[in-house]
Every structure is written in C-alpha cells, then in structure tokens.
Amino acid sequence: MRPVSKNTVMTMEAYRSQAEVLVKSYLLADTLVPFTSVVGGILACKLVYDLTQLISMFYFRTYASLTKIQRTEWNNRGMSTVHSIFITATSLYFVFWSDLFSDRLAGPVTFRHSPLSTFYLGVSVGYFLSDLGMIFWLYPSLGGMEYVIHHSLSGIAVAYSMASGEGQLYTYMVLISEITTPEINMRWFLDTSGMKKSAAYLINGVVIFIAWLVARVLLFVYLFYHVYLHYHQVTGAFSAHVFNLYLQLSKESPTSDSSEHLSPPLS
C-alpha cells in the first residue's frame, strides 16, 4: 500500500478544519440555525423524493404500472419514511442518551436547548413544510383536511420549539412517535403492490400494533410522568410567559402611556 504523503495529510487536515469552521460559523451559528436547518430540510426532502423515484423505477416492477398520482404518493411516502427514521433516531438520542436534558444539570429542563438540537428540529420543520406544500398542490389527492390540520399543527409546534428553544425535550418525546410512520407506509406500499394477502403484510401489521403500543401509548404515559416530576418547572415556564406578556401589554397600552404623562414630577 502506497504511504500517504505529508502534504496530502496537511491538505486533508486543512479541508477538515475549514469544514468545521463552516459548520460552526454558519450551519450551527445561533442566529442562522433556524434558517439553515429549515432550508436544509426542504432540500433534503427534494433529494429523497427524487432518489425514491429513481430507485423505484429500477428496482420495483410495480412502480411503472402505477398511475401518476400513485407514483407521486409513492415518492412522497418514501420521503416521509426517511424523515421518520431520521427524526426518531435523533429524538431517541436526545431524550435517552444525551446529557442535554439530564436531571444532573442545573436549571429547568424546559428551557434547555443546543445549536444541534435546534438544527434537527429545523430539519423536521422543513419536512412538514415540504409535505404540506405537496398536499396543498395536489389537494385532495394526497390527503384531505385532516392531513392539512395535522401537518399544520405539528409544524407550528415544532417550529415554535425550534425558534424559542423552549420545551425541546417534550417536543422530541412526541416526535419519537414518528416510529410508526415507516410501518404505516409499508402497509400502503404492500397494498398498492398487490401484496395484501402476503406474509409480509401480516408481519407488518403485527409490527404496527407493537410500535403503536410503545410509541403512542406507553411513551405518552412516560411523557406525562416526566411532566409530573418536573411540574414546577413546566408551570414556572408557563407563568414566565404570562408575566412577560403582561409586561409587554402594559408597556404598549395607552393607559400606561397617559399615566406616565400625568404623573407629577419628583421634587
């Protein structure tokens, strides 16, 4: 094996250093994280959509026989599957393995965030915007009003947590429930491919039941238990919002302005 020259090693280190500076200065800069992450999420959705179309054309014979709207939904479900796997893995890391939300750290857990946790939420916001845009563009072929409401509320909730940095732990807990999306999409893929009576369809149904039980029932029991243990922090965060809102309204109200003008000067 030919040894790597010193100049090559130095060049590689220089590129690596430049990449780290780029990530820290732009992609993970506090002021740019929301923008870059959302745009990155939208671009990633476009890339996954195109790759799903390309791979399906070569490796799935059923794909060519589908109608145009079915192919669009096929690609769209491929996009949502990749997002769900990505955000589920990210959420599991932040909730159970990262020290960011650990009780060993000082300060309320409701206000903790990091550039990385904010960035990943922004990627998810980019997905919700992309999917919602497709739903509106092809309405109602990809879903009715229930899909619009679901994606709108989900996107707004995640976007608020991303922009404010508040409640990110509980946002990630809820996003773990996205683990049921790949199985639901697989059910549609198998049904569309004419494999509804196959063993794979039956096994996928069992997996859906287990994933739904864990991610949509047991997980939310754990979430409510965690809120109960940190109830004073959650209510404290809510009280702080109400107090800040009251101060803003007081500063901007006509009554407060007039009272300042009518106050007698101090002697």
Q: What is the pLDDT of residues 222-267, one digit of tens each?
A: 999 999 988 888 776 655 555 444 444 444 444 444 444 434 444 3
Q: Residue 20: CB partners within 8 Å, gap ≥ 6?
A: none
Average pLDDT estimate for 61-69: 93
What tokens does 209 get? 């039941």
Contact 108, 231 (CB under 8 A): no
Q: Taking CA 146 as the corner, what is the angle to CA 39 and CA 224, rounded to the nearest 5 degrees?
A: 80
Q: Which amino acid is at 244?
A: N
Round to whole Å and give the CA distance between 122 and 101: 19
Higher pLDDT, residue 165 or 24: 165
pLDDT digits (tens, 9 = 90+) for 185-227: 999 999 999 999 999 999 999 999 999 999 999 999 999 999 9
Q: Which band of pLDDT confidence, cut at 50, 70 and 90, is reported for residue 105?
A: confident
How far apart (Å, rounded) are the C-alpha atoms in residues 42 and 134? 12
pLDDT at position 11:
63
What pLDDT does residue 234 have? Answer: 77
